[in-house]
Each structure stands twice: as structure tokens, then as C-alpha cells.
Structure 1
Amino acid sequence: MSNRLTARRYAKALLQIGDQQGNVPQLQEELDTVAAAVAANGDLARLVASPLVLPTKKAEVFEAILASAKVSPTLRHFFRVVAEAGRLNLLADIHRTFADQVDERAGIVEAKVASAQPLSEAQTRALVASLTARTGKTIRLTWHQDPALLGGVKVQVGSTVLDASLQGQLRQLKAQLLSA
């Protein structure tokens, strides 16, 4: 079974537990904190990723760290199960998948925008409004600069790519000229 599928199953289980207990936002906040702490601490990241440390030892160490960080018993138990199953190395994937599932439930979708120059506030608002109308969902915009685009924007929402860049238009023109 792929790591991505395994992470999805753990994230789904945590979401179901959160639903039963009515504390999904708290679990998400704690999971964000734990994932950030692991990413920021080299020793902790090595412990999580190391195949040489026994799963039971990882579970004990991780439990102690989470208890000292005052993480809820629910999340501590969840991570004990994950660690004892030898899947603690999937922490980043579980975190990402859990956040995606919570967003999906809330009707939030991420739009990745690339442009040659930063977008103005008015352009950003117009783009969000257009994408909201097109998808019917709440848009969370992430932007990065791509000087290769020359001008315009390239937007990815899920698996759909909308290319309104000058580079994309030149590519389309070339294809039309070559096919004529």
C-alpha cells in the first residue's frame, strides 16, 4: 500500500474521531503544532523518519514529547497507534491529508497562482471572485513568482490548470501555426 493511501486512512480515522468528540478544530490546531515542531527540530525529524529506532521506542519518546507539550489525550493516543504501527514517518503526509479533508468538508479549495509580477490587491480580489464563481467554493490563494511566464497568470485549482499567461498564449499560437 502506498504511503499516500496509508496517510489518507490515518487522517480519515483522526477526522472521524474528531467528529465523534466534536473537536476537529482543536485536533487540527494541535496537529499543525506537532507537524511544525517536528519540521523545525532536526533531532525530532530524524527520530520520526528513522527506520532504525523501534516503533515502540518511537511511541514512548513521542508520547513523552506530546505530553510535555500538553497535547490532548486523543492526539497522543492517535500518535501512539501510528508510531507503534511503524508509520510515524508519515506524519507530514497525515498532517497534509487531514488539513485537505477538513478544507474539503468546509468547501475550501486551494488555488495556486503563478505570475511574473506580484498581483495587486484589486487583481487578487477579482481573481478570487472569479474562481469562487467558477468553482462554487471558497478559495484560498497561494501565490509565487515565475519570471518565465513573461506576463499574465497561471492558476491551478486541484487538477485543473488555467493558463492565461503570455507564455501559454505564445505556446498556443505556435501550435496553431504548426498545425495550419
Structure 2
Amino acid sequence: MSQSVVAKRYAVALFEIGKGKSNLDQLEEELLVVRSVFLNDESLQEFLGNPRLSSEQKKELIRNVFKDVSKETRNTLLLLVDKRRSDMIADLVDEFVKMKNEARGIAEADVYSVRELTEEETKQIQDVFANKMMINTLRINNIVDPSVLGGIKIRIGNQIYDGTVKTQLKRLEQNLVTANK
């Protein structure tokens, strides 16, 4: 079974618990901090991946490092350590955030542009694409990409809307080539 499928199962369980206790926002905040800690602290990953250490030693570290998080978050982390699945924490967090966003009608978008977008441009993109995708809110993550000559490319989930000059020139070239045949 793939890691993402397993991560999704854990995320669904935590999401249902959070929904039942009406603390989804708190869980999301905690999980984003947990993911950041795991991604930025290689020694933590090495410690949890060390086969010579007992499961109890690893769980004690989790209890100490994440003592300020909710019981639900901490128990999920402890369960992942017990099942030797601490390497999937980032995937679990991504799945949890995705489920929470879907439940609230929120989508995340990566917008690639040659320069930083202004607030007005960001607002326009949010309005147009939230309406197009029939969602309440579109959260934009602006990524400055110098390879974008002009225009923007938007990735929302697995959909890509490419309005870059580079892509438009490629389409024009293809149309000219096929028209001359």
C-alpha cells in the first residue's frame, strides 16, 4: 500500500475526531507546526528512524517535543511512531489540510509569475478562479519564477491554467506549423 494512501487514512481519522470536537482549526495549526519541525530538523528524523532505539524512547521524545499540542495531535504522532510510520507525517498533514479546505470550500493555488503580485492582482485572481471553480475562497501562494516571461501560470490541485507568454508562443508556433501542412 502506498504511503500516501496510508497517510490519508490517518488524516481522515484525525479529521473526523477534529470535526466531532469542533477543533479543526487548532489541529491544522498544530499539524503545520509539526510538519515544519519534521521537515527542518533532520536530527529528529534520524532519531525516530534509528532501529537501535526502542519505541518507548522515541515516544518519550515526541511527548517532550510536542508537549504543548492537543491530545489528538500528540496521540496521532505517538501512533505513527508505534507503527514505524513517522516518515509520513508531512503527507498526513497535507492530506488533513486538503480535507479541511474541501470541507470549508477553500482551495490552495500556486501562482507562478515573473514578479511578486500586487494585492489587487491577487484579489482579482482569487475572485475569478474561486468563481470558476465554484468554491468559497482561494488561497494564493505566489511563486516568483524568472522563467515566466510574462503572464501567469496557476496550479490548483491537479489542474493547471497556463496563461504565460511562453505557452502562448508555443501554441502560436504549433498553429503556424499545422496550418502550413
Q: Normalized against structure 2, the TM-score is what? A: 0.88
In structure 1, how many angstroms separate the alpha carbons of the residues matched to 2:81 and 2:69? 16
Read off the aligned partner of 1:128 and give its amino acid letter: Q
| 1:54 Cα offset (Å) | 4.3
TM-score, with length taken from structure 1: 0.89
Between the aligned partners of 1:162 and 1:71, the Cα distance in structure 2 is 38
CA distance in 2, matches of 1:114, 1:129: 17
| Residue deviations 1:38-72 (CA, integer Å, cap 9, x gap) | 33333223224x252444432232123323xx222
After superposition, the Cα gap between the structure-2 partners of 1:32 and 1:171, relative to the gap in structure 1 and judged at 3 Å, is same
The aligned residue for residue 138 of structure 2 is 139
Partner of 2:41: 41
Shift of 1:36: 2.2
Superposed, 1:93-104 pairs within 5 Å as 93-104=91-102
Q: What is the deviation of 1:73?
A: 2.2
Unaligned 5+ runs, structure 2: none
Aligned residue for 1:79?
Answer: 77
Distance 2:147 2:73 in 1: 44
> Which shifted more, 91-100 or 58-67?
58-67
- The whole-number CA distance in structure 2 between the counterparts of 1:73 and 1:107 is 27
- Aligned position for 1:129: 127
2: CA distance, partners of 1:55 / 1:172: 56
**Which residue pairs with 1:57 in the alignment?**
57
Q: Does residue 1 of structure 2 align to residue 6 of structure 1?
A: no
- Between the two proteins, the alignment pairs up a number of residues equal to 177
Name the residue aligned to 2:113. 115
Q: Give unpaired runs (5+ residues) of structure 1.
A: none
C-alpha RMSD of the superposition: 1.8
Distance 1:78 1:121 in 2: 38
What is the one-letter code of the residue matched to 1:167? K
Instruction: Tell me the distance in 2 between the aligned counterparts of 1:40 and 1:157.
Output: 26
Residues in 2 aligned to 1:86 and 1:164: alpha-carbon distance in whole angstroms: 44
Cα–Cα, structure 1 residues 124 and 22, in superposed 2: closer, same or farther, change >3 Å? closer
CA distance in structure 2 between the partners assigned to 1:119 and 1:22 by the alignment:
35
Q: Does the Cα contact within 8 Å between 1:56 and 1:83 map onto a contact in 2?
A: no
**Per-residue CA distance 1:101-136 (angstroms, 9 max, x = gap):** 111111110111111222233222211111111112
Distance in 2 between the 1:154 and 1:9 partners? Answer: 32
Distance across 2 between alignment mates of 1:171 and 1:3:
37
Aligned letter for 1:65? V
Provide the rounded CA distance (Å) in 1 between the counterparts of 2:90 and 2:83: 16
| % identical equivalent positions | 29
- State which drifts further: 123-132 or 113-122: 113-122
